[in-house]
Amino acid sequence: MSDIKRLFDEQGFYLAKGVFKPDQVAALERDFDRIVAQLLASGETVDATWDGGQAAKLARASDVILHTHNVQKYSRTWLNAFLGDRFLDVAEAILGPDIVLHHSKLFQKPSETGSPFPMHQDWPYFPTVHDSMIAGIIHVSDATDAMGCLRVYPGSHRLGRIEGADGRRENAVLDRYPIEEATVIEAEAGDVVFFHYFTLHGSMPNRSERVRKTVLCQLYAGTDRVEDGNRHPDERMVLRGWNHNISRAAAGEAA
């Protein structure tokens, strides 16, 4: 596990191969598809395609990406995935023994019309005091370059907080890191890509004939906490170890 931490600290990401076995992936995909069907039947707006000029440079008007937060509120199978030893062992190698789930989110990029995400950092959306926040992308399907898989700039986490790097607006720093030149991180079903929330990342459209299915978990160390005043959903669910900053008020607070 020491190699995981070393590689993550050097590159700002780590591709963990085969975290979920084929039978687990099949069960996760079954519930993934069930969640998508429930979303589509709900009549709610479920397209998470970004607006703004940066996305418009990459997307077509017909592009969509299906999305919901917190799949563990739909499915016990997905909660079990977040509690799985193989998943948490890698997360612990990066974060330490205390691991808190901030939130999860489902993304389905349809074939041929799957929306892109411009290059960005995640920290502007849910900054933490000690900047321990990481993401773990669980691949329910394969993700190839043609399917709009993750792209990153290795080592870019060392840039720290870039103001205005949310990917929705023009940014002089991000302009120096075009998505076309970023490193392509292809993955297979069952793999998990972990990356720091400073790491510059994005994804191109899905123009393939296959659907790309992923669930992303945002995790932070139990010794850390989200900065005051942030309104993003924060589940504060302890997946392993202890939450050192939870309080009576925070534990009962509505998201």
Separation of alpha carbons 135 and 125, rounded Å: 13
Burial annotation 170-208 (CB, 10 A radius, 16+ → b, else e): ebeebeebebeebeebbbebbbbbbbbbbbbbbbbbbbb
Separation of alpha carbons 74 and 38, rounded Å: 10
CB 89 within 8 A of CB 2: no
Q: Which domains does the chain have, with CATH numbers?
A: 2-251 (2.60.120.620)
- Closest by Cα among 211, 194, 189, 182 to 23: 189
- In 6-120, where do the E strands start and end? 13-16, 66-69, 99-109, 117-120
Separation of alpha carbons 12 and 5, rounded Å: 10
Amino acid letter for position 78: W
Give the pLDDT band of residue 2 (cuts 50, 70, 90): confident
Amino acid letter for position 201: H
Instruction: Please compute, for residue 138, the number of CA atoms within 13 A of its CA located in the half-sphere on the CB side.
Output: 31
Task: Provide, rounded to the nearest whole percent, the portion of the chain with pLDDT above 70.
Answer: 98
Mean pLDDT of 70-98: 98
Amino acid letter for position 160: G
Place of tokens 């700002």: 12
pLDDT in tens, 143-197: 999 999 999 999 999 999 999 999 998 999 999 999 999 999 999 999 999 999 9
Structure tokens at 62: 């017909």
- Look at residue 1 in the predicted model and tell me its pLDDT: 64
Q: Is 150 helix (H, G, I), strand (E, B) or coil?
A: strand
- Closest by Cα among 103, 77, 106 to 232: 103
- Closest by Cα among 213, 219, 244, 250 to 104: 219
User: Does 103 score more than 70 pLDDT?
Assistant: yes
Handedness of CA 71, 76, 82, 87 (dihedral sign): negative
Separation of alpha carbons 71 and 32, rounded Å: 8
Amino acid letter for position 230: N
Give the pLDDT band of residue 105 (cuts 50, 70, 90): very high
- pLDDT: which is higher, 250 or 222: 222
Task: Provide, rounded to the nearest whole percent, the portion of the chain with pLDDT above 90.
Answer: 93
Mean pLDDT of 21-26: 98
pLDDT in tens, 187-237: 999 999 999 999 999 999 999 999 999 999 999 999 999 999 999 999 999
- Look at residue 255 in the predicted model and tell me its pLDDT: 46
Residue 217 parent element (H or E):
strand 212-221
